Amino acid sequence: MTTTSEAGVTTQPAGKPAPKGPASYFPSIEKTYGQPVGHWIGLVREQHAAGTVKHGELVTWLKAGHALGHGHANAVVAHTLGLIQAAA
Closest CA to 67 of 27, 43, 33: 33
Residue 17: the pLDDT is 77
Q: What is the pTM of this model?
A: 0.78
Q: Which conformational region is residue 34 in: left (phi greater than 0), alpha (psi within -120 to 50 degrees), or beta?
A: left
Phi, psi of 8 (to 5 degrees): 85, 15
Residue 12: the pLDDT is 56
- Tell me whether strands 10-11 and 3-4 are parallel, antiparallel or unpaired: antiparallel
Per-position pLDDT tens, the chain of length 88: 345 555 566 555 567 777 788 888 899 999 999 999 999 999 999 999 999 999 999 999 999 999 999 999 999 999 999 999 999 8
DSSP secondary structure code for residue 16 in this structure: S
Contact of 44 with 63, CB cutoff 8 Å = no
Residue 29: the pLDDT is 95
